[in-house]
Amino acid sequence: MGLFFHIGRYTSFLGNVLRRPEKGSVFRALVLDEMNSIGIQSLGIVALLSVFMGAVICIQTAHQIGGWIPVYTIGFTVRQTMILEFSPTLIPVILAGKVGSNIASQLGTMRVTEQIDALEIMGINSANYLVLPKMIAALACIPFLVILSMGLGIGAGMWVGVSTGVSSVADFEYGMQIDFNAFDVTYALVKTCVFALIISSVSAYHGYHTSGGALEVGRSSTKAVVYAVVIVMVTNLLLTQMLLG
């Protein structure tokens, strides 16, 4: 099916999702559940990846510099890489794999086992009931995960730099502070919020429109991750040009 078909159906799907929830108390409970699923249960993987990436960036930068390039460049590079690209882009890409496939397979399974039809028969807007809590939870949690990732990555870079002797604490701290532009963090968080909406809505779209059986649920899950990652990458380029270009 063509690109325009999907754009039209995605827009119509969002039109159904972005409505007033049926019942506030039920909706709040669902959002909290989703925050646990999307946020708390992703803490481990985000922390692990961030620590190792920060450490590796530190060692790679130390390996590259020498002679006339000052040592504080290590701290500067770790900070800039974590804030500008690794945390706000690669963490959402990883979450597109973890959270996106989970959302798509959950909704796909509900579709093929007629649970979504059951909601509709009851008079419930199933897209709104199932997807809006996920989008809000993603919007609330993923920026926090990204901020955590920035902190852990820079901290790990500093720890590895000092413990391997490639940098002193003072040099690293100086590099971390030099030429700091607070707008870089704003840019990173704007990107993150947009990516959070893309990951949750694109994967929900694929899961919600699954038809068939178990095989199609698997296909929807794969498609959800691939499409979410591609759209995140294209949006990353556009947003970077708009905000930094």
Partner 1 sequence: MIEVRNVSKSFGGQTILRDISATFHPGKMNFIIGRSGSGKSVLTKCIVGLHRPDVGTVSYNGREFTSMNRDGKKDIRKEIGMLFQGSALFDSMTVLDNVLFPLRMFQEAPLGELRERAMFCLERVELPDAGDKYPSELSGGMQKRVGIARAIAMNPRYLFCDEPNSGLDPQTSIVIDNLISDLTQEFNMTTVVVSHDMNSVMEASDFVHFVHEGGIAWHGSSDDLLRGGHPALDEFLFASKLMRKLRESTRP
The residues of the shown chain that bind partner 1, judged by CB under 8 A, are 22-23, 26, 113-115, 117-118, 120-125
DSSP string, 67-109: TTS-TTHHHHHHHHHIIIIIIIIIHHHHHIIIIIHHHHHHHHH
Instruction: Output the smallest distance, CB 124 to partner 1, in A.
Output: 6
Shortest distance, position 109 Cβ to partner 1, whole Å: 8
| Cβ distance to partner 1 smaller for residue 115 or 186 | 115
Closest approach, Cβ 123 to partner 1, in A, equals: 4
Closest to partner 1 by CB, 122 vs 230, is: 122
Compare residues 127 and 145 and give the one whose CB is closer to partner 1: 127
Measured over the CA atoms of residue 16, residue 18, residue 22 and residue 25, the dihedral's sign is: positive
Q: How far is Cα 174 from Cα 179, in angstroms, rounded to an integer?
A: 10
d(CA 77, CA 79): 5
CB 1, min distance to partner 1, A: 12
Shortest distance (Å) from residue 227 CB to partner 1:
24
**């959950």: which residue's tokens?**
106
Judge whether 77 and 176 are in contact, CB under 8 Å.
Answer: no
Residue (4 or 68) nearer to partner 1, CB:
4
Two structure tokens written together for 113 = 């086992």
**What's the token pair of residue 214?**
């178990």
Tell me whether residue 115 or residue 168 sits nearer to partner 1 (CB atom): 115
